[in-house]
Amino acid sequence: MISIGFKTDKGITRQDNEDSVFVLPDRNLYMIADGVGGQSSGELASRTAVGYMAQFAALHPVGDVREGMPLKQYFMSLLSGANELIFGKASGEPLNAGMATTALICYLRNDNAYVVNVGDSRAYLIRDGLIMQVTRDHTLIQDMLDSGEITAEEAKSHPEKHVITRAVGGEPTVDPDFFSFRTYPGDTIILCTDGLYGMVEEEEIARVASASKTMHGLARSLVDMANAGGGEDNITVVCMRIQ
């Protein structure tokens, strides 16, 4: 059994919410997207991504797919279709030029979690009070950290910390990362956009998650904490607890 809670909020400083969220609890399928682009293009990109996923999941039920490589191919096909659609809109419509979106998908099945990521939205696993980042950020800052060019402390205030290096719709093809791990009763999985982790320290996320009785309550608490910390970006969270 899995408990679910989710919430999206525009934050304090932004006029619009360019994040989108899609949950399909009966199929244990969840997705968040954080759009980028001028005017309302970011919102269009993220909504297009989750809309395409909803349509794809309806036409091709993920439960019919075998685990392992066929499952990886399933999500690759899903994201490739969304990428083609968004890239086409960005290329063919001047007002939407340059639009793209992050995409983070989580699928739970047979005591396993499958996570697919493009961009800098994150998946966290909280187990026994400890938090671990499952995904790797596709950002210029992460590349600089990996190369040793900057320190983790310098990364927090770097002027290019929001520059992403991969996105859905940003290029003719998409290059997602795939992760999987075993789940156990008591595990909490959190999907979030950078509006959460940019405002709230990971240790605080773990502390509140471990103390929360319900996932709806946890989702509300995390959004409230991000806004209390400045609310500088849109905030989206999906919280899952394995029973």
> What digits encode the pLDDT tens for the residues 125-166?
999 999 999 999 999 888 888 788 888 777 777 777 778 999
* pLDDT band (50, 70, 90) for residue 37: confident
Output the CA angle 81-87-93, nearest 5 degrees: 135
Question: CA dist 202 to 57, 82, 108, 120, 158, Å?
Answer: 32, 30, 23, 15, 19
Q: Which domains does the chain have, with CATH numbers?
A: 2-242 (3.60.40.10)
Averaged pLDDT score across all residues of the chain: 94
- Cβ count near 60 (within 10 Å): 12
Pairwise CA distance, residues 236 & 64, whole Å: 29
Nearest Cα residue to 218 out of 71, 48, 3, 52: 3
Given a contact cutoff of 8 angstroms between Cβ atoms, the answer to whether 186 and 242 are in contact is yes
* Residue 33: both structure tokens together: 């997207």
pTM: 0.95
Given a contact cutoff of 8 angstroms between Cβ atoms, the answer to whether 162 and 194 are in contact is yes
Pairwise CA distance, residues 179 & 80, whole Å: 18
> What digits encode the pLDDT tens for the residues 56-107?
999 999 999 998 889 999 999 999 999 999 999 999 888 888 899 999 999 9
> How high is the pLDDT of residue 221?
98
